[in-house]
Amino acid sequence: MGLVKAMIVAGVGCRRGASATQVGAAIAEALSHAGLETGALMLIATAAAKGGEPGIAAAATALRLPLVLVPQAELEAAGSRSVTRSERVVALWNVPSVAEAAALAAAGPTARLVAPRVVVGPATCALAKGEP
């Protein structure tokens, strides 16, 4: 009987025009903060409205991970489980943290944060753990 590995999701948020290097740095910082290696990640998630951000897509491609675009309604549903809050983000997105909400939504309804969002320049990243 094999052990089933928990799914680790990197939720990403960023300001318009953030580069792949900046998004990648936020992901690396979140992983370091949580004591995890890049290989622990199963996917990257962000708000569906951020799907056109080339820096996020390029960072996912560089890490060879799928990018999941989370619809606004799912972000809002998961947002209640966020632990950090940005009034600016609430005003723009109606969630306390895009990174945390995206990670939690993509990791599933019973997911929990492994690490709250970290901010590196114009990018944020939070890690959530869910069942595969």
Domain that holds residue 77: 11-130
Residue 132: predicted pLDDT: 65
13-33 pLDDT tens trace:
999 999 999 999 999 999 999
In this structure, is residue 15 part of a structural domain?
yes
Exposure pattern of 37-72 as b/e (b: 16+ CB <10 Å)?
A: eeebbbbbbbbbebeebebbbbbbeebebebbbbee
Could you tell me whether strands 112-120 and 123-130 are parallel, antiparallel, or unpaired per DSSP bridges?
A: antiparallel
Rounded to an integer, what distance in angstroms lies between the CA atom of residue 69 and that of residue 87? 23
In this structure, is residue 2 part of a structural domain?
no
In this structure, is residue 3 part of a structural domain?
no
Q: How many domains does the chain have?
A: 1
Give residue 55's identity as a one-letter amino acid code.
G
In this structure, is residue 95 part of a structural domain?
yes
Neighbours of 28 (CB within 10 A): 17
Rounded to an integer, what distance in angstroms lies between the CA atom of residue 63 and that of residue 72? 25
Domain harbouring 83, CATH code: 3.30.420.180
Question: E-assigned strands of the chain?
Answer: 7-14, 41-47, 67-70, 112-120, 123-130
In this structure, is residue 99 part of a structural domain?
yes
In this structure, is residue 113 part of a structural domain?
yes
Rounded to an integer, what distance in angstroms lies between the CA atom of residue 29 and that of residue 6? 20
Q: How far apart are the first and last CA of the chain?
A: 16
The pLDDT confidence band at residue 1, using thresholds 50, 70 and 90, is: very low
89-102 pLDDT tens trace:
888 889 989 999 99
